[in-house]
């Protein structure tokens, strides 16, 4: 009997993006999904689009029509973001591993079976998350079923900042860079709101979300898909490590001020200034991380 292959990260993410786009359009039941249109909209090939559509069909969100591809099978506003639940399980396991590592409850070396037992997780989910951590340079395989963390959090963070200092200023200088001004206005508002509010426990998590969105959206504005993927990977890496440090309020305010300066320079058309500000911002943040 053939073993059902687990959906890839790209298929899962693409399925969620398709759902969000359909919800934004308030697409009616029976709405037709055209492969070529989706390829153009999300700048991907047919293979991941087909995988994402099959994933949505398995979740009952869309249904196949002979000779017509797929059509929307249910009211889109009622459709879950994650049609098959696997991504949500993976996210919970990712967060659980990060917390366990931060609390010293996950050893430098471990087996996938130990993770299955400790987190009551399916082996397929464990393997997907461990592959992601390996892609991020956090863990590596050992002989048999063993895994090991490659380096301590401080070293990983130092290497991340060194990479980001080489990458992120350059993405603002790309010929295809186009600032999304609607997003920029929303980003400024969310930064200023957090900057003005009294600091409370838990606000560090809000800053992490705002910070991640800021860097990812600027990468998206670059028009360079390789740069975008690299920034998204760094965000995932920082998400795993975020439980191993706290954000003091003065550091958060400094980062917010840096972000607002970068936005102002980009809105004024001064890409060189924005790139210099980004380099300064990342250098300062790296020094504060110690």
- Tell me the C-alpha distance between 56 and 20, whole Å: 12
**Would you call 79 helix, strand, or coil by DSSP?**
coil
Last residue of a domain, one of 78, 109, 126: 78
Site of tokens 């590592």: 101
Residue 3 DSSP one-character state? P
Domain assignment of residue 182, yes or no: yes
Q: Are 33 and 21 in contact (CB under 8 A)?
A: no
CATH number of residue 227's parent domain? 1.20.120.530
Domain assignment of residue 180, yes or no: yes
Amino acid 278: pLDDT: 98
Residue 179 has pLDDT above 90, yes or no: yes
Which of 229-233, 260-264, 271-275 has the lowest average pLDDT? 229-233
Amino acid 27: pLDDT: 82
Q: Are 251 and 288 in contact (CB under 8 A)?
A: yes
Site of tokens 């797929």: 70
165 and 138 within one domain: no
52 and 114 within one domain: no
Amino acid 245: pLDDT: 61
218 and 96 within one domain: no
Residue 205 has pLDDT above 70, yes or no: yes
Q: Select from 133, 59, 55 the least CA-distant residue to 93.
A: 133
Mean pLDDT of 65-85: 70
166 and 259 within one domain: yes
Enter the pTM of the model.
Answer: 0.70
Site of tokens 């340079």: 137
40 and 22 within one domain: yes
Highest mean pLDDT among 21-30, 50-59, 84-93: 50-59
Q: Select from 288, 276, 211 the least CA-distant residue to 250.
A: 288
16 and 61 within one domain: yes
Give the range of the structural domain holding residue 237, as residue numbers without chain letter: 153-288
Looking at the chain, the whole-number percentage of residues with pLDDT higher than 70 is 89
Count the helix, strand and coil residues of the chain and give each as a percent rounded to the nearest 5.
65, 5, 30
Domain assignment of residue 207, yes or no: yes
Last residue of a domain, one of 58, 78, 98: 78
**Would you call 134 helix, strand, or coil by DSSP?**
helix
Last residue of a domain, one of 149, 181, 203: 149
* Average pLDDT value over all residues in the chain: 86
Amino acid 290: pLDDT: 58
Which of 75-79, 99-103, 255-259, 264-268 has the lowest average pLDDT? 75-79
283 and 251 within one domain: yes
Domain assignment of residue 4, yes or no: no
21 and 111 within one domain: no
Q: What is the pLDDT of residues 1-42, one digit of tens each?
A: 333 455 566 677 788 888 888 887 778 888 888 888 888 887
Domain count, the chain: 3
Beta carbons within 8 Å of 235's beta carbon, 6+ residues apart: 212, 215, 216
Q: Are 139 and 130 in contact (CB under 8 A)?
A: yes
Mean pLDDT of 70-75: 85
CA 100 to mean position of chain CA atoms: 21
69 and 28 within one domain: yes
267 and 161 within one domain: yes
264 and 220 within one domain: yes
Amino acid 81: pLDDT: 56
Domain assignment of residue 1, yes or no: no
Domain assignment of residue 2, yes or no: no
Q: What is the pLDDT of residues 218-241, one digit of tens each?
A: 999 999 989 998 999 999 999 898
DSSP labels, 36-49: HHHHHHHT--HHHH
- Tell me the C-alpha distance between 38 and 44, whole Å: 8
- Tell me the C-alpha distance between 240 and 99, whole Å: 8
Amino acid 80: pLDDT: 60
Amino acid 78: pLDDT: 61
Site of tokens 């300062």: 284
According to DSSP, the β-strands at 139-141 and 62-65 are unpaired
Q: Are 208 and 242 in contact (CB under 8 A)?
A: yes
208 and 284 within one domain: yes
Residue 84 has pLDDT above 60, yes or no: no
CATH number of residue 20's parent domain? 1.10.10.10
Amino acid 3: pLDDT: 37
Residue 171 DSSP one-character state? H
Domain assignment of residue 3, yes or no: no
Q: What is the pLDDT of residues 124-164, one digit of tens each?
A: 889 989 999 998 999 999 988 799 999 888 888 899 999 99
Amino acid 4: pLDDT: 44
Domain assignment of residue 128, yes or no: yes
């Amino acid at each position: 009997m053939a073993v059902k292959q687990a959906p890839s990260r790209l298929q899962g993410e693409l399925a969620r993006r398709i759902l969000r786009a359909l919800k934004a359009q308030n697409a009616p039941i029976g709405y037709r999904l055209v492969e070529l249109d989706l390829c153009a909209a999300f700048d991907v090939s047919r293979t991941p689009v087909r995988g994402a559509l099959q994933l949505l069909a398995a979740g009952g969100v869309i249904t196949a029509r002979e000779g017509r591809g797929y059509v929307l099978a249910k009211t889109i506003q009622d459709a879950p973001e994650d049609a098959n639940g696997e991504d949500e399980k993976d996210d919970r396991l990712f967060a659980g591993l990060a917390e366990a590592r931060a609390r010293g409850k996950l050893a430098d070396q471990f087996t996938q079976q130990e993770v299955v037992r400790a987190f009551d997780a399916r082996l397929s989910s464990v393997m997907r998350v461990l592959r992601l951590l390996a892609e991020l340079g956090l863990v590596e395989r050992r002989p048999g079923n063993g895994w090991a963390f490659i380096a301590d959090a401080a070293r990983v963070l130092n290497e991340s900042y060194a990479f980001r200092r080489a990458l992120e200023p350059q993405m603002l200088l790309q010929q295809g860079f186009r600032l999304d001004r609607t997003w920029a206005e929303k980003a400024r508002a969310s930064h200023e709101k957090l900057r003005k509010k009294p600091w409370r426990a838990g606000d560090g998590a809000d800053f992490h979300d705002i910070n991640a969105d800021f860097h990812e959206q600027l990468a998206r504005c670059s028009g360079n898909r390789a740069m975008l993927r690299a920034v998204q990977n760094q965000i995932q890496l920082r998400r795993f490590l975020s439980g191993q440090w706290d954000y003091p309020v003065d550091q958060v305010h400094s980062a917010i001020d840096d972000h607002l300066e970068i936005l102002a320079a980009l809105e004024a058309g001064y890409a060189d200034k924005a790139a210099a500000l980004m380099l300064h911002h990342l250098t300062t943040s790296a020094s504060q991380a110690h």
